[in-house]
Amino acid sequence: MATNRTFTMIKPDAVANGHIGAIINDITSAGFKIIALKYTQLTAETAGKFYEVHAARPFYKDLVAFMSSGPIVAAILEKENAIEDFRTLIGATNPAEAAEGTIRNKYAKSIDANAVHGSDSDENAAIEGDFFFSADERF
Ligand code: CMP
């Protein structure tokens, strides 16, 4: 059953380039409610664990190094049809292919430094949200 929730991270590139406020504004303007929010930095170990599903992929090592290179903002978001609508809002993984006006089109530079993460399924949204947030950090 759909949970109407997704999980996102504003990645180190977008944080370093000063886009936290603009991205959160895009997210809330699109109708997403913030259920949980955290400004933190992943270690190589925690980034490796978060992206464990990609461990066999050739880009895994660079991805882990990049995701632990600076602070990120993690959030659980709620909206009807959250997974699909959020993926539409952020655009394609590769910013060169992201539709005009999407978050990755506006703020991302490359497939690694692609500004934001968005969960690809209800199941992964729950796993990823649990990775960062305890029950008493959700509102
Ligand atoms: P994200 O949605 O956070 O999930 C995995 C990340 O791996 C993805 O965004 C990209 O930033 C990164 N990545 C790097 N190369 C690739 C690739 N070839 N295909 C998919 N993801 C990639």
pLDDT digits (tens, 9 = 90+) for 33-64: 999 999 999 999 999 999 999 999 999 999 99
Q: In the chain, how many domains are there?
A: 1
Domain that holds residue 50: 5-137
Cα 54 to ligand 1 centroid, rounded to whole Å: 9
Give yes or no for residue 1 having a pLDDT over 80: no
The pLDDT tens digits for 105-132 are 999 999 999 999 999 999 999 999 999 9
* 5-10 vs 72-78, strand pairing mode: antiparallel
Domain at 113, CATH number: 3.30.70.141
To the query of whether residue 117 is one of the catalytic residues in this protein, the response is yes
Alpha carbon separation from 98 to 53, 60, 93, 94, 107 (Å, rounded): 23, 22, 7, 6, 11
Pocket test for ligand 1, best of 11, 63, 109, 116 (most atoms within 8 A of CB): 63
Tell me how far the alpha carbon of residue 93 lies from the centroid of ligand 1, in angstroms: 6
| 11 in contact with ligand 1, CB cutoff 6 A | no
pLDDT in tens, 2-17: 779 999 999 999 999 9
Q: What is the pLDDT of residue 74?
A: 99
Instruction: Look at residue 96 and tell me whether its pLDDT is greater than 70.
Output: yes
Phi, psi of 34 (to 5 degrees): -85, 120
